[in-house]
Structure 1
Amino acid sequence: MRIERVVWTFDHHLQDLPWRSRTAGRRELRGNLHDTAADVGTATALRRLGSVRRLAAEYLAAEYGAQLRPAWSAGAVFLLAAVVFLTWLHDAGAAGYRAGVLAADPHATGTFHWSAVAYVFDGMTFTFADGKSTSTLGGAFTPVDYLGLAAGTVIFGRLWRARRTAEPAHAEGHEDDGRGRPC
């Protein structure tokens, strides 16, 4: 169980690697730890391993080099935060328009159209009956929103850097000069 905990902690630090590279890294670490544990014991094998975070950083450096790497989690955080903000902005605008109609006429009756924020939301239609809002229609995100969300996710997550390398430097049978370059 201790070996599996270390292997999955290692995998957690490799989230930015492509799936196949992560799987290969997990298998390699698991195999090496089981072999070493059979020789010297699990506790000693894990102690000799050192920092799992450092080991994962070395795998990432072997895959991507020293450059900035893609961060899928940063892209996901941006996307979630932006959608929450846009939804809040939309709801605040709609509530403000509804309150404005009622401030002008507390017993409003009829159909009122809110043109919303240009290029951000489609307009909304409110139907009032004696000061009560009975339905709302519209208010969807526009294509500009979706383009902005996609662009922001790529930019914040540096996802243009997500690429596969032909042969990672840590693959079996390959030696390197200690700086991730083949000899």
Structure 2
Amino acid sequence: MPRKLTALDRIRIEGLVWALDQRLYDLPRGSRVAKRREVRANLLEAARDHGAGEALRRIGGSHTLAREYLGAELGDRPRHSWIAAAYFAAFVPLILSFGLNEVSSAYAQGLAAAHPAALGTYTWSGVSYLQSPLTFTIDQGDVTRSGGAWTPIVYVVWVVGTIACGRLWRLLNRPADLMADGANQTSN
């Protein structure tokens, strides 16, 4: 006798489907959508027959299921991750810019607090290896700043970090692998 699914059962099933979808981003969109629909349909049917808890236990975790899908479609060799590379490339500059801005603002506030009626120009070397020197101009308590650009080392670390985080060097072997796979398929 089929069981009636509760809202909680559907939420648990959708949670697993969503987690699986997040792990399948290396697949083409159409393939990912098809796998998501297939897993959802199978889980709903199994949940009606055996209960949602049992259906979710039998299917295992989203990590194992995603690894099997990726292995079946792309092979078991290690892969690159565009998503990891994009996260690193996007968030590191934001975090670094925020941090350097806060440090230079603290220095400016310190200058204004130490010399409230001061006039003049002060130079600070900035955070070593990360930014160029900053110039602070104080005019009757009003502090303006200039400078503080990233150094070339930051750009090098940013590019190398993006490549390392996304394991993008694995793309270099891919064309040779695809040509070898194509040659093997034509010879069979």
Q: TM-score range by the shorter chain?
A: 0.5 to 0.7
Query: Which deviates more from structure 2 when the two are superposed, residues 14-23 or residues 145-154?
Result: 14-23
In structure 2, what is the Cα distance between the partners aligned to 1:28 and 1:122? 55
In structure 2, what is the Cα distance between the partners aligned to 1:94 and 1:14? 43
Cα deviations by residue, 1:117-155 (Å, 9 ceiling, x for unpaired)? 67743443311124x342122323356534432331221
Provide the residue aligned with 1:171 in structure 2: none
Give the total of aligned pairs: 164
Provide the residue aligned with 2:95 in structure 1: 84
Provide the residue aligned with 1:155 in structure 2: 164
In structure 2, what is the Cα distance between the partners aligned to 1:18 and 1:94? 45
**Pairing 1:27-38 to 2, within 5 Å after superposition:** 27-34=37-44, 36-37=45-46
Structure whose residues are more often helix by fraction: 2
Provide the residue aligned with 1:139 in structure 2: 148
Provide the residue aligned with 2:75 in structure 1: 65
In structure 2, stretches of 5+ residues that fail to align are: 1-9, 179-187
TM-score using structure 2 length: 0.58
Q: Identity of paired residues, percent? A: 40
Distance 1:98 1:46, change over 3 A: closer
Select the residue among 3, 23, 28 that pairs with 1:13: 23
Contact 1:4 / 1:30 at 8 angstroms: preserved in 2? yes
SS of the counterpart of 2:39? helix
Supply the AA of the counterpart residue of 1:140: A
In structure 1, stretches of 5+ residues that fail to align are: 167-182
Provide the residue aligned with 1:172 in structure 2: none
Provide the residue aligned with 2:34 in structure 1: 24
TM-score using structure 1 length: 0.59
Contact 1:7 / 1:26 at 8 angstroms: preserved in 2? yes
**Pairing 1:37-116 to 2, within 5 Å after superposition:** 37=46, 40=49, 43=52, 45-71=55-81, 74-75=84-85, 76=87, 80-81=91-92, 83-85=94-96, 87-89=98-100, 91-92=102-103, 95-96=106-107, 99=110, 107-114=117-124, 116=126
Greater relative CO (CA pairs within 8 A, separation 6+): 1
SS of the counterpart of 1:140? coil
Query: Which deviates more from structure 2 when the two are superposed, residues 108-117 or residues 52-61?
Result: 108-117
